[in-house]
A and B are shown apart, each in its own frame.
Chain A
Amino acid sequence: MTDSLVLALVVPLAGALLVTALPAHAARIGLFSVMLNTLNIALLTLGVWQHDELQLALGDWAPPLGIGFVADGLSAAMLAMTALVSLAISVYAGDYFRDPARARHFWPLWLLLLTSLNGLFLAADLFNLYVNLELLGLSAAALGALGGQRTALEANLRYLLVGLLGSMTYLLGVALIYSGFSTLDFAQLAAQLARGDAAASGLLGATALGLMVMGLALKAALFPLHFWLPPAHGSAPAPVSAALSALVVKAAFYLILRLWLEVFAPLTTQGAANLLGLLGAGAVLWGSWQALRAERLKLLAAYSTVAQLGYLFLFFPILQGLPAGETRSNLFAAVTLMALAHGFAKSGLFLAAGFVQQQAGHDRIAELGTTLQQLPATTLTLALAGTALIGLPPSGSFVAKWLLLGGAMANGQWWWVLVLLAGTLLAVAYVFRLMTRAFGLEPTPRHFFTQARAEGPALLLAAMATGVLGVATAPLWHLLGTSGGLG
């Protein structure tokens, strides 16, 4: 069963090597490896479902000497979301990158990106995470620049440099941890910190945590460190934008969550969590406001990513205040659900936006009326994804926001509810601003246009976010070992 942990890394990596060596067959081998990866992740999720947690010491060297892999409910949920989203993106990309010259650049980098994402969700070792972060940042920036225009190159060069700065800051924290605790393994580190041997090591750990969270917040585009995100995500090719917004920033957030709530939990304070929540609140308000003002559809989607990441950070101060127990584990499940729902919704939105851009030749929202009216399936996708971004029932984000609301009230931190309400209203405004284009006064088109391979994946992703995640939450609750939120 633990073989699937290693295969999660080896399958996409082997695919990347093969498409590098055999560029003529890139699309076929690439899609095949992504399918194989999805199958393997399904097995892994099944394993976590049955055993609650899968562990592995690579090369049979027990930590601290070797590297440990751990898959728990949170890892499995993120891995499953990544596998499904990447499968949909791969199907779409086969259609999008028809030009073989671009396809042979896309596939190896894309599979390396997938390798690093899987590695990030599995590794329980601070330094192995750094290597995965490097792989992630490098492949993401290279993919983002595939569009080839000057703006894309500029934006992604900045993305690369910002990512490097983030990795270096993270690495500084890792070095401090190693010098102080002589281990990089999550479980051993958590045990040492829980014992709280000396005040000095607590200070050292807190500084290291601060550095690591700072570096990761830069990569997760937490307000006000989000400045690089809109140009980079707005100028990348559509399948890449979808992956960047849905998966790559989410991986950095996942690491912050893991470090903050599990490994370094004894060192975190309410004040620090409040700061994260405050930055999240800033992201919600500023990102939503900018999304409302955006002239281009892809920029709207990119700013909406900034806002949605903000919601995820709102959970920190509320989780911090709660004692271990059912309310807390429900809230933890809610933040996971929020991340998953946004992953599905945003990738669907970006894929649909890419198709609209291809059909219309531009993505200026004010002039999209005719195109949207000709594309019923894509318009439905935009509406479903928008539903999840707003957080209307029956979307997964509705359930998550509801639980957040309950948690904030139970905790007496009612001020976060105001942010939630304001952000939701702004989201209504920016989604409806887009949707009204589909109901303008343009003459009714003579015939509609649908194209299964390009529109199907996006529609399925958006339906997953809005239909499946909101209604069928029980499997996720089971995976995360909680009773269920809405009881």
Chain B
Amino acid sequence: MRNSLEPKPQRSAALLVVVLLILLAGLLQWVYFTHAATAPGAGLTALAQAELPRSGVTNPVTAVLLNYRALDTLLELSVLLTAMLGIWSLGPATPGYQQAGAVFAGLAAWVVPLLILSGGYLLWIGAKAPGGAFQAGALLAAAGVIQRLGGDPRASLPNESAQRWLAIAGIGIFALVGLATLVAGRGFLDYPLAWAGWLILLIETFATLTIATLLTAAYVGGQPPPSQTTATPGMHRMQAPDRKA
């Protein structure tokens, strides 16, 4: 009387899955083409464009993300936080790579400041052109990834306690702005028009820091090593033997 919890996947089952997937893809294609040929939906682009003057920004994408559907964005940031907390719960990070050689270190010294600068630019320009917190945060996180590849076990992030505050800053400010508008007698995240642009910039600035921290921490891949891990010699033997010069 054993429960077979782990049934072996069978060939016939795999074949069945493939057949079903092909049928599903066929159905979707058929529906899409019959539908697209007869009655394409208008979408909400026109409406989003028409309401732009009331949103505080002139880039429709930013208006959707930070104003019309700000709650989605607040929850998306929480999804990123959940991912990082889940990664941390699985154990400490691996020590990281050995210290980079002269060429990589030189490259990093060029690229990292450029990434930070472009991140700041994308954050600012997001109000009127493509850009914004997610793009800026991703660039900053790329800088962190380069630092980690170059041998920094913490990828330039501060100690664990500061990382925790950075990880919640964007979500916290977002929620606080929402609560402030609620207390002021408007709805949750219902910005007064005069302040909307600045409030969105405030939220986006902190969201950038949070996104960068969360993505970099996810790349580090575990709870940060305790402070004072200034490249002990033992660490160099752990990873990436193929990169040895």
| Candidates B68, B167, B178; contact of A6 at CB < 8 Å | B178
Asked if B5 is an interface residue, CB under 8 A from chain A, the answer is yes
In the complex, the answer to whether B75 meets A58 with C-beta atoms within 8 Å is no
Residues in B whose Cβ lies below 8 Å from that of A61: 51, 67-69
Given contacts A65-B51, A135-B82, A138-B83, whether A59 and B167 have CB atoms under 8 Å apart is no
B172 near A17 with CB under 8 A, answer yes
CA–CA, A447 to B186, complex, Å?
Answer: 61
Closest B residue to A303 using CB positions: B3
**Is A115 positioned at the interface, with any CB of B under 8 Å from its CB?**
yes
Say yes or no: A182-B42 contact (C-beta < 8 A), given A60-B186, A61-B68: yes
Secondary structure call for the A interface = helix
Among the 9-residue stretches B33-41, B105-113, B201-209, B226-234, the one with 4 or more Cβ atoms under 8 Å from chain A is B33-41
Residue A95 is within 8 A (CB to CB) of chain B in the complex? no
Residues of B within 8 A of A293 (CB): 1, 3
Q: Does A481 lie at the interface of the complex (its beta carbon under 8 Å from any beta carbon of B)?
A: no
B39 and A200 contact, CB distance less than 8 A: yes
Set B44, B72, B182: member contacting A3, Cβ < 8 A: B182
A204 within 8 A of B: yes
Q: Counting CB contacts under 8 A, is A10 at the interface?
A: yes
Which chain A residues lie closer than 8 Å to B44 at the CB level? 64-65, 182-183
Chain A nearest Cβ from B72, distance in angstroms = 5
- Nearest chain-A residue to B80 (Cβ)? A138
Residues of A135-193 contacting chain B, CB below 8 A: 135, 138-139, 141-142, 145-146, 153, 172, 176, 178-183
Which residues of B have CB within 8 Å of A132? 75
Q: Is the CB of B188 within 8 A of A58?
A: yes
Taking CB atoms, residues of chain A closer than 8 Å to B47 are: 64-65
Contact A135 B188 (CB under 8 A): no
Contacts of A20 in B (CB 8 A): 81, 85, 164, 167-168
Residue in A57, A58, A200 whose beta carbon sits within 8 Å of that of B70 in the complex: A58
Q: Which residues does chain A contribute within 8 Å of B69, judged by CB atoms?
A: 61, 66-67, 127-128
**Which of B86-94, B118-126, B136-144, B147-155 contacts its partner?**
B86-94
Partner of B187, one of A60, A198, A231: A60
Asked whether A142 lies within 8 Å of B89 as measured between CB atoms, the reply is yes
* Segment of A83-91, A105-113, A317-325 in the binding face: A105-113
- A225 surroundings in chain B (CB, below 8 A): none
Residues of A within 8 A of B6 (CB): 231
- Flag whether B59 is at the interface (Cβ < 8 A): no
Interface size on A, residues (CB 8 A): 64
Question: How far apart are the CA atoms of A115 and B77 in the complex, in Å?
Answer: 13
Is A13's CB within 8 Å of the partner chain B? yes
- Evaluate whether A112 and B81 lie within 8 angstroms (CB atoms) in the complex, with A21-B165, A65-B51 already known: yes
Interface size class of B (residues with CB under 8 A): 35 or more
A47 to chain B, nearest CB (A): 16
Supposing A20-B164, A109-B85 touch, asked if A10 and B75 sit within 8 A by C-beta, the answer is no
The residue that A131 contacts in the complex, of B76, B90, B179, B186, with Cβ under 8 A, is B76
B79 within 8 A of A: yes
Beta-carbon contact of B38 and A178 below 8 Å: no
Tell me, in angstroms, the Cα distance from A402 to B96 when the chains sit together: 62
Q: Do A294 and B3 form a contact, CB below 8 Å, given A10-B175, A13-B78?
A: yes
Distance from A441 Cβ to chain B, minimum over Cβ atoms (Å): 22
Q: A357 at the A/B interface (Cβ < 8 Å)?
A: no
Instruction: Decide yes or no whether A134 CB sits under 8 A from chain B.
Output: yes
Q: Contact: A105 with B88, CB < 8 Å? A: yes
Task: Report B188 CB to chain A, min CB distance, Å.
Answer: 4
User: Which residues of chain B (38-76) have a CB below 8 Å from chain A?
Assistant: 38-44, 47-48, 51, 67-72, 74-76
Residue interface mask A12-33, B partner, CB < 8 A = 1: 0110110011010000000000
Q: Which residues of A contact B81 (CB under 8 A)?
A: 16, 20, 108, 112
- Does B28 interact with chain A (Cβ within 8 Å)? yes
- The reply to whether A231 and B5 contact each other, CB–CB distance below 8 Å, is yes
Task: Report whether A67 and B72 are in contact in the complex, using a CB–CB cutoff of 8 Å.
Answer: yes
Task: Check if A59 sits within 8 Å of B70, measured CB to CB.
Answer: yes
B212 close to chain A: CB less than 8 A: no
The reply on B15 being an interface residue by CB < 8 A is no
Q: In the complex the two chains form, is A180's CB within 8 Å of B35's CB? A: yes
Out of B3, B31, B48, B189, name the residue touching A203 (CB < 8 Å): B31
Q: Is the CB of A295 within 8 A of B89?
A: no
CB distance from A43 to the nearest CB of B (A): 15
Q: Name the distance in Å between B222's Cβ and chain A's nearest Cβ.
A: 12
Instruction: Tell me the smallest distance from the CB of A316 to a CB of chain B, in Å.
Output: 22
A370 surroundings in chain B (CB, below 8 A): none
| Shortest distance from the beta carbon of B48 to any chain A beta carbon, whole Å | 6
* Top 10 A-B pairs, shortest CB-CB distance: A142-B86, A105-B89, A6-B188, A17-B168, A182-B41, A60-B190, A131-B75, A200-B38, A59-B189, A207-B31
A/B interface sample: 8 pairs, CB < 8 A: A58-B188, A67-B71, A131-B76, A146-B89, A179-B35, A200-B34, A294-B3, A295-B2
Task: Give me the interface of B with A, judged by CB distance under 8 Å.
Answer: 1-3, 5-7, 27-28, 31-32, 34-36, 38-44, 47-48, 51, 67-72, 74-76, 78-79, 81-83, 85-86, 88-90, 164-165, 167-168, 171-172, 175, 178-179, 182, 186-191
Q: A109-B85, A142-B86, A299-B3 are in contact. List 11 more A-B contacts (CB 8 A).
A: A14-B175, A20-B164, A59-B70, A105-B88, A105-B89, A109-B82, A145-B86, A153-B90, A178-B41, A182-B41, A201-B39
